[in-house]
């Protein structure tokens, strides 16, 4: 396989297992060169910590893009996670246009909401901007809350296949080409992921664990991108990412007082083994 390079664009928390501190090691473990563009630097992530520092790097983004273009640097995939503003989304669109190679896969995780609510600091204007970015992507990875916000559909905690089909069709109507919809549960004690690619529906179901961890969405998206760029199909990559996220949550449950993230590092070997199957 040709040695490939992925660019991931998201914030970095110096302490806390999320965003770039998750994406860089996981994608690297998949055997792929990983370039990064930090959108902001925080001393810690914002969930459970107080008094954290924050430095916005929005103004650096166009200068970095210009330098890459001057050096003829391009990428085989570009994967975006948490972006902090509509201006950052606009700059990311410019990076898509200016640094992708001919076969580049554009993957957007519209990390902006969960449990029926937008994250603090986001508004309707941000959702509108994210719609535009998702329409540019080859694959989008929303959870059910994000899918509802992007499409205007009502958020439900109890639903059937018909509701999910409507949600997929609504995402397609706003320009989403291929969709990996996470956190879809049709049965008690189970959850899973829907992969809608080339007008074909597939569902992978796995166990729903009682404990949750900060940053598991970032773990999932990073493992998906790494596996996909390694040559796995979208469904295979979605399955690997789901199984790996479950292993990370289980590994975290074994640790005492590990509340700030998921222990993804001890089970990286399991991810590497999955990629060889």
Residue 122 tokens read as: 């986001």
Q: pLDDT-derived band of residue 243, with 50, 70 and 90 as boundaries?
A: very high
- pLDDT at 249 > cutoff 80: yes
- Predicted pLDDT at 257: 87
Q: What is the pTM of this model?
A: 0.96
The helix/strand/coil state of 10 is: strand
Please name the residues in contact with 197: beta carbons below 8 A apart, sequence gap of 6 or more: 178, 179, 234, 235
Q: Is 204 left (phi over 0), alpha (psi -120 to 50) or beta?
A: beta
Other C-beta atoms closer than 10 Å to the C-beta of 110 total: 27
Residue with tokens 């110096």: 14
Rounded Cα–Cα distance for residues 199 and 106 (Å): 18
pLDDT at residue 241, rounded to an integer: 98
Per-residue pLDDT averaged across 18-37, rounded? 97
The yes-or-no verdict on residue 26 having pLDDT over 90 is yes
Burial 115-131 (b: 16+ CB within 10 A, else e): eeebeeebeeebbebbb
Q: Which long-range contacts (CB under 8 A, 24 or more apart) does 90-95 make?
A: 90/129, 91/58, 91/61, 91/62, 91/65, 92/9, 92/61, 92/133, 93/132, 93/133, 93/136, 94/62, 94/65, 95/7, 95/9, 95/37, 95/61, 95/65
Residue 1 predicted with pLDDT over 80:
no
- What confidence score (pLDDT) does residue 210 get? 86
pLDDT band at 239 (very low <50, low <70, confident <90, very high): very high
Cα angle 261, 56, 6 (rounded to 5 degrees) comes to: 65
Residue range 29-52, pLDDT digits in tens: 999 999 999 999 999 998 889 999
For residue range 157-175, list pLDDT tens digits in order: 999 999 999 999 999 999 9
């Amino acid at each position: 396989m040709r040695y490939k390079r992925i660019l991931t664009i998201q914030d970095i928390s110096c302490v806390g297992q999320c965003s770039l501190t998750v994406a860089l090691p996981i994608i690297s473990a998949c055997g792929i060169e990983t370039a990064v563009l930090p959108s902001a630097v925080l001393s810690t992530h914002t969930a459970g910590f107080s008094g954290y520092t924050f430095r916005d790097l929005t103004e650096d983004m166009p200068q970095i893009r210009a330098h890459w273009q001057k050096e003829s640097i391009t990428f085989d995939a570009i994967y975006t996670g948490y972006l902090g503003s509509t201006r950052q989304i606009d700059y990311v669109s410019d990076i898509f246009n200016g640094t992708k190679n001919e076969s580049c896969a554009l993957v957007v995780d519209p990390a902006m909401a969960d449990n029926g609510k937008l994250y603090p600091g986001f508004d309707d204007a941000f959702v509108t901007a994210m719609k535009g970015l998702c329409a540019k992507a080859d694959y989008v990875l929303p959870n059910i809350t994000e899918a509802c916000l992007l499409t205007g559909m009502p958020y439900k905690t109890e639903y059937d296949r018909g509701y999910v089909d409507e949600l997929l069709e609504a995402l397609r109507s706003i320009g989403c080409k291929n969709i990996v919809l996470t956190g879809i549960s049709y049965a008690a004690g189970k959850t899973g992921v829907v992969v809608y690619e080339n007008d074909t529906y597939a569902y992978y179901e796995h166990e729903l664990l009682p404990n949750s961890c900060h940053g598991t969405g970032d773990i999932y998206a990073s493992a998906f991108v790494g596996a996909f760029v390694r040559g796995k199909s979208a469904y295979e990559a979605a399955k690997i990412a789901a199984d790996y996220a479950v292993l990370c949550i289980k590994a975290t449950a074994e640790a005492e007082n590990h509340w700030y993230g998921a222990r993804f590092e001890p089970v990286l070997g399991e991810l590497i083994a999955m990629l060889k199957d």
